[in-house]
Homo-oligomer: A and B are copies of this chain.
């Protein structure tokens, strides 16, 4: 007989058992804090694979049964599916169950959650773990994906402190460090430092691939190009969805960037080296400051408990 009394969660349900949901499951298993991990997933092959890899204890296709007795539900499916998953959850959601997500955008998720969950919205705590890999699927899941990484929680006014604490607690067991932002802050910040760079990298590789002598150009691309375009190796479908889900904030950042490029184009036209140097120097200095700050901050915290 296992001593289930010592486990903090009797049941956690994960929608989407790929990289994000799978790594969450693996980390919680390692901490031995969940009695039963149940996975749900549109794609049966993926679901079977997650079970085979021991990421989940139970592969389910029955939402009602899966949700019964669940302490926590994590939605780690593509962001475009969030609303339909929440609608499917709603009728089976028990009062003590907390729901969270792992979507890369938050204002749209909050709007979808309000539509789908209505009077149960207080049970939903929107969140975004800042971690990833280029690989996807259950085979890409790793136990330490979240170790020392940020978890952004964009709590709602309706959330009670103990509801938020359930989400914080689960993610802290994964080694993540919780941070609070509003949904708007989150979306503006990530449009600037993540969504726009993805768009810029895709745009450059697409441009080069469509030029005459594309092969010649690619032949001489070196390590700087490789790093600059690494994020253009990410899932196109996922980034289409993120771009559309966060399009207001992304449009704003892109417009500022277009003005910035026009400034550089004008400087080139006038051979204005001072203007170029001013932009380049400021960027280099800002990046150095940033790198120094993350290097001092990024020592992974030791987890409490064992």
Contact = CB atoms under 8 A, between A and B. Distances in A.
A90 interface: no
Interface stretch (A9-17, A21-29, A157-165, A256-264): A256-264
A244 B276 contact: yes
A185 interface: yes
Interface in A202-247: 202-211, 213-214, 216-222, 224-237, 239-241, 243-244, 247
Copies in the complex: 2
B233 A287 contact: yes
A216 B241 CA distance: 24
Nearest to A275: B240
Interface string A167-210: 00000000000010000010011101110111111111111111
B218 A197 contact: no
B283 A232 contact: yes
A150 interface: yes
Interface in A248-306: 250-251, 254-258, 260-262, 264-265, 268-269, 271, 273, 276-277, 279-284, 286-291, 293-294
A130 interface: yes
A79 interface: no
Interface residues of A, number: 91
B203 A261 contact: yes
Contact of A218 (B198, B264, B293): B293
Nearest to A281: B236
Contacts of A216: 185, 189
Contact of A190 (B192, B196, B220, B251): B220
7 contacts: A192-B217, A193-B222, A200-B228, A226-B291, A235-B284, A236-B277, A258-B265
Interface of A: 130-132, 149-150, 152, 179, 185, 188-190, 192-194, 196-211, 213-214, 216-222, 224-237, 239-241, 243-244, 247, 250-251, 254-258, 260-262, 264-265, 268-269, 271, 273, 276-277, 279-284, 286-291, 293-294
